[in-house]
Structure 1
């Protein structure tokens, strides 16, 4: 078994390890999330290359005794310097990295995960503040699909009726499903006498046809093309809420980084 590995990777994060070394967390198409040591001082060329948001071909040495990886070379294909020139881009890119780490690299669909992450970061370099927010929502929505946690948007989860494209529907968190207006009303009536401990039964919110149409549209486009497809303000808010709620259910928690720039603007 060869001790030298050549992998296409995205650098997710880097932290100090020891006095002068660093540990890089990487997403690779072959192994998902891996960690490797980067040796060298502050002026090391390799250390400068192995930085968050960078993508390319990496050479790794596997130490069979210590069961560890060491970075020996990195041919950076995408440096993405523009991500750091606009705060909203940087926040969105950081949220992408955080999501990938928190879901162990996409639940096994690593080639698709790497392609989605690379495409999103490339699009973020071109985005303005509003575009960065929408690019992140698209990423979260597609990431939920990779994890197998995305609900069916075209039919009611209760009666299985077809949902009209322009219909306002209700998303129920506990069921991770949409309900038509009639079934949502029935659920409200059934839970009207519920105790405070059963309040989660009514944990729901409305999603317009516009929000669903936008999510459906960007699902079939590459990330850069999505920057030219902007929803109305209400649909944008609803699309973000839906994407983050669905992914929160898949991960078991909500990540603070998803709301980074919203909190800063308030």
Structure 2
């Protein structure tokens, strides 16, 4: 088994380990999530290169006896300084990273997640506030699709009746279901009160955006209320899947 491996990788998180070392988590195109130790003091070139949101070529040494991995080099291809220059962008980027971590890097689909995250971070590096909100929304729902937990927009999750193009779907957090208006009224009082509307405008928006890539997707916008509810529903679906509460806080 080869002890030295090369990856295309995005740095997700870096934290101190011991007096001078760091533990880094990468999203690799080839294998998904990868954890490795970064050795070296403050003057080490690698410490500045292995920084959150950077993308590049990663060299790792694997010790099969200890089952440990060491970063031997990282050639940065994209630095993305624009993310670090804006607090709102940092919050959004950190949220995307947290989603990827909790979803175990997409499981059996690491390349799809890698490409989605790389593209999203690239756009985020220059995105304004409204663009950030749409970017986060798009990422959540595309990630749900990659994970195989994308809901059915065409039928009620309770009675299976067809949903019309102008009908509102209601998300019931307690049951993790998207239901029609009739089933929402039949739900227990607490579930009915907590129901979150998923408006027809969002479903039309997603059908268009899902066909687009990169900056083209940001040409399609949503009203603030529709956007906020769609983010809330996406977060609820993801929380039910991961077992951990996830919520994006804007600046």
Judge same fold: TM > 0.5, yes or no: yes
* Contact in 2 for aligned 1:144/1:250 (Cα 8 Å): no
Q: In structure 2, how many angstroms separate the alpha carbons of the residues matched to 1:65 and 1:216?
A: 49
Secondary structure class of the residue paired with 1:105 = helix
Q: In structure 2, how many angstroms separate the alpha carbons of the residues matched to 1:14 and 1:106?
A: 20
* Contact in 2 for aligned 1:106/1:146 (Cα 8 Å): yes
Q: TM-score, normalised by structure 2?
A: 0.92
Secondary structure class of the residue paired with 1:62 = strand
Q: How many residue pairs get matched? A: 251
Structure 2 residue 246 is matched with structure 1 residue 252:
no
Structure 2 residue 13 is matched with structure 1 residue 7:
no
Structure 2 residue 207 is matched with structure 1 residue 213:
no
* Contact in 1 for aligned 2:184/2:192 (Cα 8 Å): no
Q: TM-score, normalised by structure 1?
A: 0.88
* Contact in 1 for aligned 2:238/2:246 (Cα 8 Å): no
1:243 deviates by 1.1
Q: Note the 1:181-200 alignment, pairs <5 A.
A: 181-185=181-185, 187-188=186-187, 191=188, 199-200=190-191
Please report the RMSD computed on the Cα atoms of aligned residues, expressed in angstroms. Answer: 1.8
Q: In structure 2, how many angstroms separate the alpha carbons of the residues matched to 1:38 and 1:5?
A: 15
* Contact in 2 for aligned 1:127/1:227 (Cα 8 Å): no
Runs of 4+ residues deviating >6 angstroms: none
Q: In structure 2, how many angstroms separate the alpha carbons of the residues matched to 1:157 and 1:102?
A: 25
Q: In structure 2, how many angstroms separate the alpha carbons of the residues matched to 1:159 and 1:200?
A: 16
Secondary structure class of the residue paired with 1:227 = helix
- The residue number in structure 2 matching 1:235 is 226
1:202 deviates by 5.9
User: For residues 211 and 120 of structure 1, do their structure 2 counterparts lie closer, same or farther at Cα, with a shift above 3 Å needed?
Assistant: same
Secondary structure class of the residue paired with 1:70 = strand
Structure 1 unmatched runs, 5+: 193-198
- The residue number in structure 2 matching 1:157 is 157
- The residue number in structure 2 matching 1:104 is 104
Q: In structure 2, how many angstroms separate the alpha carbons of the residues matched to 1:217 and 1:86?
A: 29
* Contact in 2 for aligned 1:141/1:247 (Cα 8 Å): no
Secondary structure class of the residue paired with 1:149 = coil
* Contact in 2 for aligned 1:140/1:243 (Cα 8 Å): yes
Q: Note the 1:73-152 alignment, pairs <5 A.
A: 73-152=73-152
* Contact in 2 for aligned 1:212/1:239 (Cα 8 Å): no
Q: In structure 2, how many angstroms separate the alpha carbons of the residues matched to 1:175 and 1:148?
A: 18
Structure 2 residue 226 is matched with structure 1 residue 226:
no
- The residue number in structure 1 matching 2:62 is 62
